[in-house]
């Protein structure tokens, strides 16, 4: 039997080529499109909103985002203030008039509890239900659900991560090598994802983007060499290279979480479910490729070698384009 994925459809290669211009957005959900807001409950039913990011539009009329029974108070130097009678409850929500990817809100309640959550935007607004910012089982389930979805979206929308997985599958021969290699890649990126989010290592964005592009180009080269009968260490022990590059890709995954400003108490759960979401998305992608492989092996066997070679050159060309495109980011301050 040839490689585990001998040749996805020609349409896949065309699709990949069309997406090459995805460029700098290829591997991260854009954290610059996520605002961070701190809401502090103070005395006398009063609250304070502090917006960390300067790129978001100012709230000229604070009452627009509040429940009807709340009224705006004179702002302080670095925050908005408002009062609600009675106090905010689980039936209330804040509606921010921002066309952003989402908002992370850290609520610091007067009882001493801190609860944070990520709320995706819907186009022109970002709705923040306060039921998901109250301590308790409900908020934990919400946090888990949101970061599970965020992790799955990150891998499925991260074209360069998907191309790396595709390259691994094109390179592999045999079921157990597939299991070993994907397991090594998973363990490696889980390590650096956790290390980056927990602050053990910083996330060096621009160098990581360059290295991710190089990892795909390297896989493409090895696929082509294997087709020419030139076997190297990666063909006999692909899990070694998968683990090494998985460490790099883990920093890429961390970019989606590293700047979100979660409270310390919520980081472990958010990290766990984000990683589970990444794995779920990765497994779904692999299963789709396996299904395509089975179909094409049965119906398009004569085209196997040509399509595999076309995919290898396509991966190499796209990765080289990304590498050149990302190099200038290394010198930006």
* pLDDT at residue 18, as a whole number: 39
* pLDDT at residue 263, as a whole number: 58
pLDDT grade for 1, boundaries at 50, 70 and 90: very low
Let me know: does 174 contact 4? Beta carbons within 8 Å: yes
CA-nearest of 186, 159, 333 to 247 is 186
How far apart are the C-alpha atoms of 218 and 233, rounded to whole Å? Answer: 13
pLDDT in tens, 59-69: 888 898 999 99
CA-nearest of 33, 64, 78, 28 to 251 is 28
* pLDDT at residue 262, as a whole number: 57
CA-nearest of 104, 103, 96 to 64 is 96
pLDDT grade for 318, boundaries at 50, 70 and 90: very high
pLDDT in tens, 168-183: 888 877 778 888 898 9
CA 76 to the chain's CA centroid: 35
Let me know: does 196 contact 305? Beta carbons within 8 Å: no
pLDDT grade for 39, boundaries at 50, 70 and 90: very high
């Amino acid at each position: 039997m040839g490689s585990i994925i001998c040749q996805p459809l020609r349409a896949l290669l065309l699709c990949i080529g069309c997406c090459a211009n995805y460029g700098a957005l290829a591997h991260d959900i854009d954290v610059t499109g996520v605002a961070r807001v701190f809401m502090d409950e103070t005395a006398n039913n009063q609250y304070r909103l502090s917006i960390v990011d300067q790129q978001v539009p100012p709230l000229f009329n604070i009452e627009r985002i509040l429940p009807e029974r709340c009224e705006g108070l004179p702002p302080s130097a670095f925050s908005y203030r408002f009062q609600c009678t009675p106090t905010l409850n689980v039936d209330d929500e804040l509606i921010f008039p921002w066309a952003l990817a989402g908002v992370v809100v850290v609520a610091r309640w007067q009882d001493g509890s801190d609860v944070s959550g990520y709320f995706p935007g819907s186009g022109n607004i970002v709705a923040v239900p306060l039921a998901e910012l109250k301590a308790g089982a409900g908020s934990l389930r919400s946090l888990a659900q949101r970061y599970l979805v965020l992790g799955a979206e990150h891998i499925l929308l991260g074209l360069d991560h998907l191309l790396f997985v595709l390259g691994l599958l094109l390179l592999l021969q045999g079921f157990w090598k597939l299991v070993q290699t994907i397991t090594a890649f998973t363990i490696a990126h889980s390590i650096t994802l956790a290390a980056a989010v927990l602050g053990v290592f910083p996330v060096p964005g621009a160098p990581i983007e360059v290295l991710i592009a190089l990892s795909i180009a390297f896989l493409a080269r090895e696929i082509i060499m294997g087709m020419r009968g030139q076997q190297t260490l990666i063909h006999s022990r692909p899990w070694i290279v998968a683990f090494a590059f998985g460490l790099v890709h883990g920093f890429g995954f961390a970019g989606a979480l590293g700047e979100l400003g979660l409270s310390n108490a919520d980081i472990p759960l958010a990290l766990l479910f984000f990683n589970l979401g990444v794995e779920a998305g990765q497994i779904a992608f692999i299963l789709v490729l396996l299904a395509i492989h089975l179909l094409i092996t049965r119906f398009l066997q004569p085209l196997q070698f040509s399509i595999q070679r076309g995919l290898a050159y396509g991966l190499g060309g796209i990765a080289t384009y990304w590498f050149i495109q990302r190099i200038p980011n290394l010198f930006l301050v």
